Amino acid sequence: MLFNSYPFLLIFLPVTLVGFFRIARGGHRLAAMWLAFSSLVFYAWWNPIYVTLLAASIAFNYMMGVQITRRHSIGTAPKFLLTMSIAVDLAVLGYFKYANFFVDAIGTVVSSHYDIGRIVLPLGISFYTFTQIAFLVDAYRGKVRDLNPVHYTLFVTYFPHLIAGPILHHSEMMPQFRQTSVYRAHAENFAVGLTIFAIGLFKKTVLADGIAPFAGPLFATAATTPPSFVDAWGGALAYTCQLYFDFSGYSDMAIGISRLFGIQLPLNFDSPYKAVNIIEFWRRWHMTLSRFLRDYVYFAFGGSRHGVPRRYVNLLATMLIGGLWHGAGWTFIAWGALHGIYLVINHAWNAIKQVLAIGQSSSRSLGARAAHLFTFVAVVCGWVLFRSPDFGTAVSILRAMLGLTEFALPAAVADHFPALALLLGSMGVKFSLGGGSQLLRMVCWLAISLTIVFIAPNTQQIMEKYRPGIGTETSREATAAMWQWRPTIGWAIVCAIVGGCGVLSLHRVSEFLYYQF
- pLDDT tens figures, 116-156: 667 788 888 999 999 999 999 999 988 888 889 999 999 99
pLDDT value for 3: 46
Q: Is 431 left (phi over 0), alpha (psi -120 to 50) or beta?
A: beta
Q: Which of 326, 339, 347, 372 is catalytic?
A: 326
CA pseudo-torsion sign 204, 208, 212, 218: negative
pLDDT value for 433: 62
Tell me which residues of the chain have a pLDDT lower than 50: 1-3
Number of other residues whose CB lies within 10 A of the CB of residue 226: 17
Tell me the pLDDT tens digit for each residue of 12-21.
Answer: 889 999 999 9
What is the domain partition of the chain in residue ranges? Answer: 6-184, 191-276+363-507
pLDDT value for 2: 46
Rounded distance between C-alpha atoms, residue 288 and residue 286, angstroms: 6
Percent of the chain predicted with pLDDT > 70: 88
What residues form DSSP beta bridges with 269?
Answer: 285
Note if 72 is an active site residue. Answer: no
